[in-house]
């Protein structure tokens, strides 16, 4: 750190992304990416002609991309905002709706970036512990009078919230924004999209990184009332007007249009999720009922860190989160059948070592 950095930024605890190691080839089940390549239509759209247009700035209002997303969800483009990954959308939302005078309510176990953005924007968050079974205590998210941010399904727990509970929370905070982060909603759970027509305080955040196989493209979006979209545009245009690059814009349009490919990928993950859940439970694991593209699993007879380390030594990477209530768990991305076979083989070896 340089001596020039502002003191308040000295104190930041930046987000620590999942490992992207370059030292050897791992079976990567640690960052909830898709094991499938992007749609072939994406590959076809990123031709030399598109690359040749990169001397020009991209469309700052991302017109065609927003129209494509709006059409997919039965909305209009003024209901759609696009960001450089949903992380950027989340960052703009925290910047727009929370500061030292108006806080944010978040679960204690949820996507780690919510705390980071809170800290960055000088928000003292209200942190609500999950129930012992990792479910959300819905009543503690009502009447907050400040930003409420929740992931549904939640990460890393993989659990979905019932539609009625989401509506209670949105209806229960009429004077503040409720941000529902639906990064994993395509894999399970029920989207709260139908609530948009009724609740002007609802802000839905989505990503292309998981179900649309475009984590490397960095593309996320928000669905909300036109007034909220206008707020986000105010921030974007004060920060980074050309936030979606030319190639990602094209990729995003084609990935959204290729509905059959999207469905096939989601179904592939759901089938593998069911098989792996069953297989791990048969080995004595506790595995929560996942509505996402990852499993939240506790190995028999060892803590999460030990299992993580033993898997890593065998070339399989999963995510261990060192929060106290999560110490017996790891988060395992649902990968391809071959990747999951490798995970299960390594796991059987580890359990067979006799150090239970």
Which residues bind to ligand PLP, rule: CB under 6 A? 32, 85-87, 111, 151, 155, 181, 183, 207, 209, 215, 220
Q: How far is CA 15 from the centre of its chain?
A: 13
Nearer to ligand PLP, 165 or 351 (CB): 165
Question: Please, are residues 223 and 63 in contact by the beta-carbon 8 Å criterion?
Answer: no
Q: 353 phi and psi, to 5 degrees?
A: -70, -15
Nearer to ligand PLP, 166 or 183 (CB): 183
Shortest Å distance, C-beta 32 to ligand PLP: 5
Question: Please, are residues 76 and 96 in contact by the beta-carbon 8 Å criterion?
Answer: no
Which residues touch 71 (CB under 8 Å, ≥6 apart)? none
Shortest Å distance, C-beta 4 to ligand PLP: 29
CA distance 274 to 126: 35
Shortest Å distance, C-beta 108 to ligand PLP: 15
Shortest Å distance, C-beta 288 to ligand PLP: 15
DSSP annotation of 205:
E
Question: Please, are residues 251 and 84 in contact by the beta-carbon 8 Å criterion?
Answer: no
Nearer to ligand PLP, 64 or 215 (CB): 215
In this structure, the number of other CB atoms found within 10 A of the CB of residue 20 comes to: 10
Tell me the Cα Rg of the chain: 21
In terms of Cα–Cα distance, which of 54, 36, 20 is closest to 255?
Answer: 36
CA distance 119 to 14: 9
Nearer to ligand PLP, 147 or 346 (CB): 147
CA distance 56 to 59: 9
According to DSSP, the β-strands at 286-287 and 294-298 are antiparallel
Shortest Å distance, C-beta 183 to ligand PLP: 4
Shortest Å distance, C-beta 185 to ligand PLP: 10
Nearer to ligand PLP, 213 or 347 (CB): 213
Nearer to ligand PLP, 155 or 244 (CB): 155
Question: Please, are residues 248 and 219 in contact by the beta-carbon 8 Å criterion?
Answer: yes
**DSSP SS3 for 103:** coil
Nearer to ligand PLP, 83 or 299 (CB): 83
Shortest Å distance, C-beta 92 to ligand PLP: 12
Nearest residue to ligand PLP, scored by beta-carbon proximity = 85
Shortest Å distance, C-beta 284 to ligand PLP: 27
Question: Please, are residues 105 and 147 in contact by the beta-carbon 8 Å criterion?
Answer: yes
Nearer to ligand PLP, 292 or 350 (CB): 292
DSSP annotation of 56:
S
């Amino acid at each position: 750190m340089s001596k020039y950095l502002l003191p308040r930024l000295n104190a930041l605890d930046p987000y620590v992304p999942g490992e992207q190691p370059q030292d050897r080839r791992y079976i990567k089940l640690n960052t909830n990416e898709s094991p499938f390549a992007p749609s072939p239509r994406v590959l076809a759209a990123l031709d030399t002609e598109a690359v040749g247009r990169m001397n020009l700035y991209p469309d700052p209002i991302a017109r065609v991309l927003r129209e494509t997303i709006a059409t997919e969800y039965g909305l209009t483009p003024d209901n759609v905002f696009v960001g450089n990954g949903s992380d950027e959308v989340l960052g703009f939302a925290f910047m727009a709706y929370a500061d030292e005078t108006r806080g944010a309510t978040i679960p204690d176990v949820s996507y780690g970036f919510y705390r980071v953005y809170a800290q960055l924007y000088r928000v003292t968050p209200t942190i609500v512990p999950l129930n012992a079974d990792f479910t959300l205590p819905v009543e503690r998210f009502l009447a907050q009078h400040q930003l409420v941010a929740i992931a549904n399904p939640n990460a890393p727990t993989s659990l979905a919230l019932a539609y009625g509970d989401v509506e209670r929370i949105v209806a229960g905070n009429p004077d503040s924004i409720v941000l529902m982060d639906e990064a994993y909603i395509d894999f399970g759970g029920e989207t709260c999209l139908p609530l948009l027509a009724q609740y002007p305080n609802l802000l839905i955040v989505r990503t292309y990184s998981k179900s649309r196989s475009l984590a490397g493209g960095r593309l996320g979006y928000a669905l909300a009332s036109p007034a909220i979209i206008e707020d986000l545009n105010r921030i974007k245009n004060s920060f980074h007007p050309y936030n979606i690059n030319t190639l990602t814009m094209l990729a995003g349009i084609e990935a959204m249009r290729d509905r059959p490919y999207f469905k096939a990928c989601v179904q592939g993950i759901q089938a593998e999720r069911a098989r792996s859940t069953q297989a791990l439970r048969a080995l004595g694991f506790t595995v929560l009922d996942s509505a996402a593209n990852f499993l939240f699993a506790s190995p028999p007879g060892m803590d999460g860190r030990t299992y993580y380390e033993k898997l890593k030594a065998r070339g399989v990477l999963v995510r261990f989160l060192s929060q106290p209530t999560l110490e017996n768990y790891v988060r395992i991305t649902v990968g391809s059948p071959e990747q999951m076979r490798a995970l299960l083989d390594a796991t059987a070896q580890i359990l067979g070592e006799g150090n239970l």
